[in-house]
Amino acid sequence: MNATSSATNSDPVSLADALGSFEDLWSPRIVTAVNDYDVRVAKVQGEHLWHVHDHTDEFFLVLAGELHIALREDAGERTVVLHKGSVFTVPRGTEHKPAAPAGASILLFEPTGTSTVGDRHDEIPSHVDATTGHTLA
- The 10s digit of each residue's pLDDT in 44-88 is 999 999 999 999 999 999 999 999 999 999 999 999 999 999 999
Could you give the CA distance from residue 61 to residue 105 in angstroms, rounded to a whole number? Answer: 9
pLDDT surpasses 50 at 2: no
CATH number at residue 131: 2.60.120.10
Counted domains in the chain: 1
3-state secondary structure of 135: strand
> What does the pLDDT read at residue 9?
52
- Could you say which DSSP state residue 137 is in? -
SS3 of 92-109: CCCEEEEEEEEEEEEEEE
- Number of Cβ within 10 Å of residue 59's Cβ equals 16
* pLDDT tens string 29-55: 999 999 999 999 999 999 999 999 999
